[in-house]
Amino acid sequence: MIVFDHIPKTAGTTFKFILRNSFGIFHCDAGIVKKKTFTQKDFRLARRIFFQIKSISGHNLVNSPQNLEGRDHFYVTILREPVKRYLSHYQDMLLRGSYDYSLHDWMGMDEHTNLQVKQIAGSEDVDRAKKILKEQFSFVGLTERFEESMRLLKVMAPYPLNLDYKRKVVAKSNHIKNAILEDPEKVDLVRRHNSLDVELYRYVSEELFPAYVEKYASAIEGVPSPRPRYKTHRTWKYQASRFYNKFVYSFLLKLSGRKR
């Protein structure tokens, strides 16, 4: 089963569209469980509800190999260049009206700092995050090399994937992020503030990801690049997945008392 550890602002929502559009009602949205961390107990219940489950995704799949206690799963995540990811997250919160903070205020909120390391390791332990990605994750993609990442994933994944997608959660404007990126002092401050994420990203982009490319170079030659083919998310498999998660899974969680 594909377990997608979804880190915010890494093109993960677009990849979740691919999973939903590939597997329909056999894709589980772990975010339906309103908890910071999706546990083994939550997972056992999900497997009963999604009786032929093929994939699961969510922001709450933190340190998933440990919390799901399953080494036979196909663990996947996508990383993004840390400064751009951090600023995209900040910009998104402002544009959604979730926050009205300055960059300085945002940087004072520890939960947003080194988020990629925390998501993988469950703490700010970059060495542990590297070890987990190398030894327990089956694939780690890069937002900056999204199409190549999807082509690699298609030949590595345990189930066939429909790589065509609809772009999801595209910022209406990047003026906030771009204004900060034009200020070298602020960029350097953000980079130092997320130094562990910088180290993890460097490891994946310079060592782990190139190893995938080298190993599967011949296999991906015949794999077409994914296309933003869909103008709407109303494909029958995507809609079936959304309905099953929103109504069936959510309803059964409430009955079991496990939703919160």
Q: Which domain holds residue 188?
A: 2-256
SS3 of 3, please?
A: strand
Beta strands in the chain (DSSP E): 2-5, 27-29, 55-58, 74-79, 139-142
Which of 25, 70, 85, 23 has the alpha carbon at shortest distance from 50? Answer: 25
Reported as a single tens digit per residue, the pLDDT across 20-35 is 999 999 999 999 999 9
Q: What is the CATH number of the domain that holds 210?
A: 3.40.50
Paired with 77 in beta bridges are 5, 140
- Give the separation between CA 239 and CA 224, rounded to whole angstroms: 25
Exposed, middle or buried by CB within 10 Å (0-12, 13-18, 19+), for 49? middle
Output the CA–CA distances (angstroms, integers) from residue 259 to 34, 241, 251, in the order listed: 6, 18, 9
Confidence band, pLDDT 50/70/90 cuts, at residue 170: low
Q: What is the pLDDT of residue 84?
A: 97
Q: What is the average pLDDT across 204-226? A: 95
Contact status, residue 27 vs residue 241, Cβ threshold 8 Å: yes
**How many separate domains does the chain show?**
1
Reported as a single tens digit per residue, the pLDDT across 147-165 is 999 999 999 999 999 998 8
The tokens describing 130, both together, are 């590297």
Output the CA–CA distances (angstroms, integers) from residue 100 to 10, 94, 194, in the order listed: 23, 6, 21
Measured torsion, CA atoms of residues 16, 8, 167, 31, in degrees rounded to the nearest 10: 40
Q: What is the average pLDDT across 112-140? A: 97
Full-model pTM: 0.93
Reported as a single tens digit per residue, the pLDDT across 242-259 is 999 999 999 999 988 765
The tokens describing 84, both together, are 């751009």
Contacts of 170 (CB under 8 A, 6+ apart): none
